[in-house]
């Protein structure tokens, strides 16, 4: 099989995309960051290794950003005579319907539209990515890779909520979990770093970024995770509240707050932003260094919530092979890693503080000699995992289906 695979990962204010050869070598990358007020910045590296940087002052929405990104890909591919064999999309929510790579056709898109209310901040943007790619690359097969698939193994006692089972005809309330593609990569890479079989590993995976989650992996399989029915549950995040007493919501509703206002509060104006008015951990850490009280509290609450989950998952797993840090904060904020691990020595986690600060390689072991469990920093590569899964699917099925 020859040709190239394009992977598209669409968020509400950013688009990440990467071109892979069939040997999984990354050939080019394009990212777009934009917002309601910020100009879109398109940057990356083309197929010859040349840097791309372009600021577009008129693009502030996902639809326009997708059109710009995918049109740039069309220019790069056509200009270099490169042929796409497939386009892959990270789809955030697959509910309990999808557990593997799935070819995208009209029927699948109809089913995905039914899941928009499961992940209103993500799935509509993911479907928009599919539609835009279909317009610009009408003859290229497209495939969906689901962020929830890795967590389909969570047992019912961990996945079910303690509420009546049939509250809605349209929605099944369950702990679906997210960051599954990142967790799969962390599991595979941890096995490489520790020179063992993935199926032998018990891991606690901390994916820490704008969205943040903790996942317990036993014998290479997800058994619990902090995000639940939606990505709002669990840890303190950039704008999401994480775990919250549900009676707070009832009280706010009784005070007159609408469902739209509540959604905005819980997913955009809570978390770090709600604590200190800033959602960017980089600037929060700078303010904390200057002894800003609100920033210091935000850092403390962020780390404290994570530490609680680590302790809980240690109790569930028993023996832990490694604690994994991944995601933008997990990879690039040594002070956050240090604060989380501090006090966990009785559980077997001892950090090498110099290695934590030094951490020069994308994937590193920063645990001290004598630590019973390893402490790993692993570079998140969701697009590569998507590409690998799609290529494996194509190899196994010899499958090429026109878009329908």
- Specify the pLDDT at position 36: 64
C-alpha angle 173-175-178 in degrees, rounded to nearest 5: 125
Domain limits, CATH 3.30.420.40, in the chain? 4-146, 195-382
Alpha carbons 43 and 29: distance in angstroms, whole number: 8
- Note whether 359 and 334 are within 8 A (CB): yes
4-146 has which CATH code? Answer: 3.30.420.40
Q: What does the buried/exposed string (b/e) look like for 269-282 if buried means 16 or more CB atoms within 10 Å of the residue's CB?
A: ebbbbbbbebbebe
Alpha carbons 365 and 190: distance in angstroms, whole number: 9
Backbone angles phi, psi at 254, to 5 degrees: -65, -30
pTM of the predicted structure, to 2 decimals: 0.92
- Specify the pLDDT at position 397: 64
Alpha carbons 336 and 339: distance in angstroms, whole number: 5
- Specify the pLDDT at position 135: 95
The residues that bridge with 43 in the sheet, in sequence order, are 31, 53
- Specify the pLDDT at position 37: 64
Sheet strands side by side (includes 203-208): 221-225, 212-218, 203-208, 322-326, 374-377, 364-365
pLDDT tens, N- to C-terminus, the chain (404 residues): 679 999 999 977 789 999 999 999 999 999 998 766 677 888 999 999 999 998 887 777 888 889 999 999 999 999 999 999 999 999 999 988 998 999 999 999 999 999 888 888 789 999 999 999 999 999 999 999 999 999 999 999 999 999 998 898 888 999 999 999 999 999 999 999 999 999 999 999 999 998 999 999 999 999 999 999 999 999 999 999 999 999 999 999 999 999 999 999 999 999 999 999 999 999 999 999 999 999 999 999 999 999 999 999 999 999 999 999 999 999 999 999 999 999 999 999 999 999 999 876 889 999 999 999 999 999 999 999 999 999 999 987 654 443 33
The residues that bridge with 15 in the sheet, in sequence order, are 10, 32
Alpha carbons 16 and 216: distance in angstroms, whole number: 27
- Specify the pLDDT at position 108: 92
- Specify the pLDDT at position 96: 87
- Note whether 349 and 373 are within 8 A (CB): yes
Nearest alpha-carbon partner for 355 in 368, 342, 341: 368
**SS3 state of residue 327:** helix
Architecture of the domain spanning 195-382: 2-Layer Sandwich (3.30)
Residue positions annotated with a catalytic role: 147
Q: What CA–CA distances, in Å, run from 264 to 211, 270, 302, 336?
A: 15, 9, 20, 27
The region, left, alpha or beta by phi > 0 then psi within -120 to 50, assigned to residue 99 is alpha
Alpha carbons 216 and 310: distance in angstroms, whole number: 9
229-233 long-range contacts, CB within 8 A, separation 24+: 229/118, 229/161, 229/173, 229/174, 229/175, 229/176, 230/118, 230/119, 231/92, 231/119, 231/121, 231/122, 231/178, 232/266, 232/267
| Residue 41 DSSP one-character state | E
Backbone angles phi, psi at 151, to 5 degrees: -95, 10
Residue carrying structure tokens 């899964």: 389
Backbone angles phi, psi at 349, to 5 degrees: -105, 110
- Specify the pLDDT at position 399: 46
- Specify the pLDDT at position 403: 33
**SS3 state of residue 16:** strand
DSSP labels for 215-252?
EEEETTEEEEES--SSTTSSS--SS---S--HHHHHHH
Alpha carbons 234 and 231: distance in angstroms, whole number: 8
Helix spans in 13-154 (H): 62-79, 106-113, 123-136
Stated as kind and residue range, the H or E segment containing 119 is: none
């Amino acid at each position: 099989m020859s040709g190239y695979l394009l992977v598209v990962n669409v968020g509400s204010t950013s688009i990440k995309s990467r071109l892979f050869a069939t040997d999984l070598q990354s050939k080019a990358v394009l990212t777009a960051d934009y917002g309601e007020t910020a100009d879109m910045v398109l940057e990356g590296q083309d197929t010859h290794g040349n840097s791309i940087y372009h600021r577009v002052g008129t693009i502030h929405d996902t639809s326009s950003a997708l059109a710009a990104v995918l049109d740039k890909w069309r220019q790069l591919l056509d200009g270099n005579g490169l042929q796409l064999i497939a386009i892959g999309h990270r789809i955030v929510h697959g509910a309990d319907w999808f557990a593997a790579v799935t070819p995208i056709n009209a029927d699948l898109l109809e089913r995905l539209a039914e899941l928009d209310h499961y992940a209103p901040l993500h799935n509509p943007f993911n479907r928009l990515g599919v539609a835009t790619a279909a317009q610009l690359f009408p003859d290229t097969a497209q495939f969906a890779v689901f962020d929830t698939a890795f967590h389909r193994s969570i047992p019912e006692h961990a996945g079910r909520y303690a509420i009546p089972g049939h509250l809605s005809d349209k929605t099944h309330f369950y702990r679906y979990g997210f960051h599954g593609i990142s967790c799969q990569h962390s599991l595979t890479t941890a096995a490489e770093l520790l020179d063992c079989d993935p199926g032998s590993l018990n891991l606690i995976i901390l994916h820490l970024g704008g969205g943040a989650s903790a996942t317990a992996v036993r014998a290479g399989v997800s058994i619990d995770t902090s995000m639940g029915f939606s990505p709002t549950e669990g840890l303190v995040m950039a704008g999401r509240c994480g775990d919250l007493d549900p009676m707070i919501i009832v009280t706010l509703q009784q005070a007159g707050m609408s469902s739209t206002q509540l959604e905005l509060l819980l997913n955009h104006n809570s978390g770090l932003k709600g604590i200190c008015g800033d959602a960017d951990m980089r600037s929060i850490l700078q303010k904390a260094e200057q002894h800003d009280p609100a920033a210091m509290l935000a850092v403390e609450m962020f780390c404290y919530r994570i530490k609680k989950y680590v302790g809980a998952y240690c109790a569930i797993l028993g023996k832990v092979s490694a604690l994994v840090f991944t995601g933008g904060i997990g990879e690039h904020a040594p002070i956050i890693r240090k604060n989380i691990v501090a006090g966990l020595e009785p559980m077997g986690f001892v950090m090498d503080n110099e290695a934590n600060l030094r951490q020069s390689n994308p994937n590193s072991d920063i645990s001290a000699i004598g630590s019973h469990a390893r402490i790993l920093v692993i570079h998140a590569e969701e697009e590569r995992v998507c590409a690998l899964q799609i290529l494996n699917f194509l190899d196994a099925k010899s499958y090429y289906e026109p878009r329908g």
